[in-house]
Structure 1
Amino acid sequence: MDISDMRRDFESEGLDLDALDANPATQFANWFGHARDAGILEPNALSLGTAGQDGQPNLRTVLLKYFDETGFVFYTNYGSRKAKELEANPRAAMLFPWIALNRQVIVQGRVEKVGKAESLRYFASRPRGSQIGAWVSEQSQVITSRGLLEQKVAEIKQRFHDGEVPLPSFWGGYRVVPERFEFWQGRPSRLHDRFEYLKNEAGWTIQRLQP
């Protein structure tokens, strides 16, 4: 299927250095607010890139649950494919594709587990069905039928029917600690504006990249 003629020009205001905040976390918060206010569906959805010892990159969509100057937090099963890759190679890349605004943001850095107390606070805020789902799924493992999942759901519901669902020992959060940001603003004729923040001992260096 030839889809080479699928294209549109990006009509949007430009992005200049003097319009950027010196702190990339603040700049991200500004753009995230714009995406949320624009009504973009799940603006916290991101593509998470990881690679294990074999060097094979993997991608999946996850939801960002918290961010500040210390990093970007998401949650998962510690037995999942992404978790095993992060154990072998604790580095990751995040891509936020806010296409409706002709924008995207890339965040790259090292990855660390969040503390148990932080994971517990978030887990306690989840709907009960999602809490049960965390107990049920051996994420990324092969299963022969959906019926087996549904059977496990019934078992877990029965197990915790008379109380709160506790935090599983095999489930929790990761924080991507940024070392590089890229803010991308689409422009006409593919002459996009791209600015890169690089972490250094003094703080952050900002530089424009060619489109």
Structure 2
Amino acid sequence: MDYIGHGLDESELAPSPYLQARAWIDEAIERAKSSNVLAEPTAISVATVDASGQPNVRTVLMRFFDERGPGFVTNLESAKSEEIRVNPRVAAALTWPWLYRAIRFRGRAEPLDREEVHAYFDHRPYGARLSAWASQQSRPASGRAELERRWAEAQDRFPDTGDPEDVPVPDFWGGWRVRCDEVEFWAGRANRLHDRIVFTRVGEGSLADPDAWQVSRRQP
């Protein structure tokens, strides 16, 4: 199957990686509203390296994206969090096959501010807030029954009264944001002559600061 994407030309490129990524993310979200193909347009794959140098990758939901970079929430005792504390260098990717687009982020992971974590947690559905307490993320489980039992215990501990503060944020639950040094925009084209436009950090500014980034093109 050949690719029929529009591609990405330098003449169409936004002046900063934030504006370019924001435009693509917003379009993917809008397309997802009318298509089952893009059911999770903010699903982002996050790659880390463990203490032995073995790479690890998993897909989570990108819950934050602003001028500081993409962010996600997780158990702070999970495998990904433990690996980030040992080596904060990470890579992440948003991929939309049916739009023939992808964005790659490379940089260092930093903890999300607790204020951001609390604000996000309060907007999660009641059951999802309970699951943050019930799941010992990445740890071995004897079976499904163990997870269901822990969830029921959390439900008994934090009954639902309709108040977002019914379920407090666990101390062991938070998130990470990728402070990017490189952002690559991939756009598929016919004959596999894809476009790869890369923003590389050359200054201290945010993703929205054009002067902090240098633009180049890579071979597909």
- Determine if the alignment matches structure 1 residue 207 to structure 2 residue 205: no
Inter-partner Cα distance in structure 2 for 1:154 and 1:101: 41
**Structure 2 equivalent of residue 5 of structure 1:** none
**Structure 1 equivalent of residue 99 of structure 2:** 101
**How many positions carry a matched residue from both structures?**
204
Provide, for residues 92-122 of structure 1, a one-character-per-residue CA deviation record: whole Å limited to 9, x for no partner.
1111111001111101111110121111111
Inter-partner Cα distance in structure 2 for 1:72 and 1:63: 10
Once the two structures are TM-superposed, the CA of residue 205 in structure 1 deviates from its matched residue by 0.3
Inter-partner Cα distance in structure 2 for 1:162 and 1:105: 39
Residue pairs, 1:1-211, within 5 angstroms: 8-39=1-32, 40-161=38-159, 164-201=166-203, 202-211=211-220
Give structure 1 stretches of 5+ with no counterpart: 1-7
Give structure 2 stretches of 5+ with no counterpart: 33-37, 204-210
What fraction of aligned residue pairs are identical, expressed as a percent? 41
Which is worse superposed, 80-89 or 14-23? 14-23
Provide, for residues 106-146 of structure 1, a one-character-per-residue CA deviation record: whole Å limited to 9, x for no partner.
01111110121111111111001000000000000001111
Which is worse superposed, 120-129 or 142-151? 142-151
Once the two structures are TM-superposed, the CA of residue 162 in structure 1 deviates from its matched residue by 6.2
Inter-partner Cα distance in structure 2 for 1:116 and 1:35: 28
Query: Secondary structure at 1:141's aligned position in 2?
Result: coil
Inter-partner Cα distance in structure 2 for 1:179 and 1:53: 22
Inter-partner Cα distance in structure 1 for 2:153 and 2:178: 34
Counterpart of 1:19 in structure 2: which amino acid?
A: E
Inter-partner Cα distance in structure 2 for 1:127 and 1:25: 29
Q: CA RMSD for the aligned pairs?
A: 1.1
